[in-house]
Amino acid sequence: MTNRRDVLKLGLAAGGMAASAHGRIEFAQSGLVFPQGFKPSIEAAPSPPIVPFKDPLFRMPVATPEPLNSFNPLPDGRRHQRFYDFPPVKYYKETISQFRWTYHSEAPYNQGSWHWGFSGNGFNNIAPGPTYHAHYGEPVLVRRINNLPPVGDPNVKVPFGLPSITIHLHNGHTASESDGIPTDFFNSGEFWDHHYGNFPAGFDNREVMNTLWYHDHRLDFTAPNVYAGLSGFYLLFDDLDSGNESDSNPDAFRLPSGDYDIPMILHDVQFDQNGQVVFDFFDGGISPHVEPEDSSTTYIGSSNFTLFGMLGDRITVNRTISPRLDVEARKYRFRYLNGGPSRLYRLSLRLERADGTVVDNHPGLKFFVITNDGNMLQEPLILESFPLWVANRVDVVVDFSAFEPGDKVYLVNRMEMRPDGAGETGKLLDEGDLIMRYDVIPQNPNVGDPSRIPDQLREFPDINMDEVRRERLWVFDYDNGLWTVNGKLMDPNRIDALIEQGSAEVWTIRNSGNSWSHPVHTHFEEFQFLEFNGKPIPENSFLRSRKDIIELGPMEEYKFFGRWRDFFGTHVMHCHNVVHEDHEMMIQWKIVPPGMGD
């Protein structure tokens, strides 16, 4: 059976590409991946129009545990590392199935688009999936059941996904067998148990995480499977970030909580004229290697195939197109997540007064940024805008008490993308895209606003260079029409690094391309940057944080310090422009006992 990596190797090897004297890839006129005059489908066949800000934001329900005796068969602790060190105190089940999801209430969207998503205790057929509220010191087990129609079933309604899945908890400190790595997929009619110990790496409370998410990670099909609906939030709480804005603990952050703590996942999506989701970046849907009348151009790609990136022209929040949200004139915590597949954002706020006057420079139009990649900063940053690359999570506090009831505050994206979806242009849009609208209403007098924005957040773990066992260089590039790391395609039978448990390493992540952008993600533990382009990270930088995503722009290089603790097993590092990941921009590394590293 030919898969997409076979198509790439055959098609692009014959595509007429040549290397320049500098080693960069140049495209021969007769073999363009994106031919001259190419128009992405968002320009050639845009999604049907909608009335923006008509529909309310979808608020995902919080997952509810189920009794252990409802599991058949019972979970087998012998299949999990450290299961008996961290026995689950809560058990969850969710079924992944196919259904229609309504992205907007107007025709043609109101008939619902075929979709994949989640059902479970207290929720049915939702996308994104339920939000998990987990607590440090309370291990859990989540059983995920694949109820999607199998390959070849005539009832398959989502034409671009593969109903063989694996669910990754990004960036959980989790054993390999529960991590949802790309090769641990399970097919229709099967299930997989995920054990989450919910303890900080190295048992160091400075390693506590906050905003995680889960998503499909199936080898070669991550982009279409996540695009089909398989994503959701997993939030972790502890004594400091307790999820209680009235917490009596004097050390608690008392950030906005409950109804005022809102996770938001951004996905940009393309629709056909019937309101159905399509994974189509090509004008005309020309099949691979079918030459049009002008035989000087060979089209590589089809109506369901793209190599550089996938851009939709409708930005959704929690799978609703251009939603609105009533917000009281008080503080809110918004957990922004870029769910991909390829679009990068720079987010800011814009005010429209009740009389229609637009204001861009109001003093209330600012974010109190408290996390980067869902990990607490040492102190909040006050920013008018911030980047949000694929898989990046940024938690902010916005204080709507600066505005009047009747005011409308818009979330705006000003990042301009390359038309092929492979990265940003380096320019900002003058007006930007209006993603969603916050409608200011009076504060609820029965609740008030007991929340606060603390001056200090979480202390960073120490960086001890004496712990470093070795250094490694990873070069991300585009070679002969394929996405590579250190000149290699991902091979599921190859381990690229053997890392000794308990050790520290210094990794250099380099982009040798002068056009592409790569949100690079490595699993399992966060890291701290040491350098960017050979220079130390400034003290007040947004990058001075614990990270699991590297915003790797053209010809850029980062160096970071990381540790590998507590478990053994295989994990991966890859580009989180998941189109690049699916086209082999990924390596595997393995945690091994001391003395067995490379």
Q: 423 in a domain, yes or no?
A: yes
Give the model's confidence band at 225: pLDDT under 50 very low, under 70 low, under 90 confident, else very high: very high
Tokens 């009832």 sit at which residue? 155
Is residue 72 exposed (0-12), middle (13-18) or buried (19+ Cβ within 10 Å)?
Answer: exposed
| pLDDT tens track for 166-204 | 999 999 999 999 999 999 999 999 999 999 999 999 999
Q: Mapping DSSP to helix (H, G, I), strand (E, B) and coil, where does residue 489 land?
A: coil
Enclosing H/E stretch for 4: helix 4-13
Q: 567 in a domain, yes or no?
A: yes
- Give, in degrees to the nearest 5, the angle at Cα 91 between 89 and 97: 165
For residue 328, the enclosing domain spans 270-284+302-441
- Pairing of the two strands 331-340 and 393-399: antiparallel
- Pairing of the two strands 375-383 and 231-237: unpaired
| pLDDT tens track for 499-520 | 999 999 999 999 998 888 999 9
34: which 2 tokens? Answer: 């994106």
One domain for residues 79 and 173: yes
Residue type, 416: E
Report the number of distinct structural domains present in the chain. 3
One domain for residues 492 and 560: yes
Residue 53, pLDDT above cutoff 60: yes
Helices (H) and strands (E) in the chain, counts: 5, 37
Give the model's confidence band at 303: pLDDT under 50 very low, under 70 low, under 90 confident, else very high: very low
295: which 2 tokens? Answer: 């035989």
Q: 382 in a domain, yes or no?
A: yes
Residue 305, pLDDT above cutoff 80: no
Residue 286, pLDDT above cutoff 80: no
pLDDT at residue 480 in the model:
77
Q: Which residue has the higher pLDDT, 72 or 41?
A: 72
One domain for residues 86 and 184: yes
Average pLDDT, the chain: 89
From residue 321, how far is each of 121, 265, 476 by CA, in Å?
Answer: 27, 12, 34
One domain for residues 335 and 479: no
Q: 37 in a domain, yes or no?
A: no
| pLDDT tens track for 128-143 | 999 999 999 999 999 9
Phi/psi region, residue 339 (left: phi>0; alpha: psi -120 to 50; beta: rest), is: alpha
One domain for residues 198 and 308: no
Backbone phi, then psi, for 201, in 5-degree steps? -55, 130
pLDDT at residue 448 in the model:
92
* Domain CATH number, residue 582: 2.60.40.420
What is the DSSP code string of 193-238? EEEE----GGG-GGG---EEEEEE--TTTHHHHHHTT-EEEEEEE-
**C-alpha dihedral over 544, 549, 554, 555, to 10 degrees?**
60
pLDDT at residue 20 in the model:
26
One domain for residues 88 and 220: yes
Residue 299, pLDDT above cutoff 60: no
One domain for residues 86 and 207: yes
Is residue 141 exposed (0-12), middle (13-18) or buried (19+ Cβ within 10 Å)?
Answer: buried
Q: 16 in a domain, yes or no?
A: no
Give the model's confidence band at 35: pLDDT under 50 very low, under 70 low, under 90 confident, else very high: low
Backbone phi, then psi, for 340, in 5-degree steps? 85, -165
Secondary structure of 417-440 in HEC code, one letter for each residue: ECCCCCCEEEEEEEEEEEEEEEEE
- Pairing of the two strands 504-511 and 468-479: parallel
Query: Lowest-pLDDT range, 223-237, 246-260, 278-292?
Result: 278-292
One domain for residues 478 and 580: yes
One domain for residues 401 and 539: no
| pLDDT tens track for 520-567 | 999 999 999 999 999 999 888 889 999 999 999 999 999 999 999 999
Contact in structure between 598 and 588 (CB atoms under 8 Å): no
Q: 450 in a domain, yes or no?
A: no
Rounded CA-CA distance 78/91 in Å is 17
One domain for residues 431 and 470: no
Residue 26, pLDDT above cutoff 60: no
DSSP 105: S
One domain for residues 79 and 203: yes
Contact in structure between 63 and 132 (CB atoms under 8 Å): yes
Rounded CA-CA distance 148/162 in Å is 9
Phi/psi region, residue 426 (left: phi>0; alpha: psi -120 to 50; beta: rest), is: left
Give the model's confidence band at 31: pLDDT under 50 very low, under 70 low, under 90 confident, else very high: very low
Query: Region 400-426: what's the mean pLDDT?
Result: 93
Residue 333, pLDDT above cutoff 80: yes
One domain for residues 335 and 470: no
pLDDT at residue 515 in the model:
85
From residue 29, how far is each of 18, 36, 302, 432, 592 by CA, in Å?
Answer: 10, 8, 19, 34, 48
- Pairing of the two strands 331-340 and 375-383: unpaired
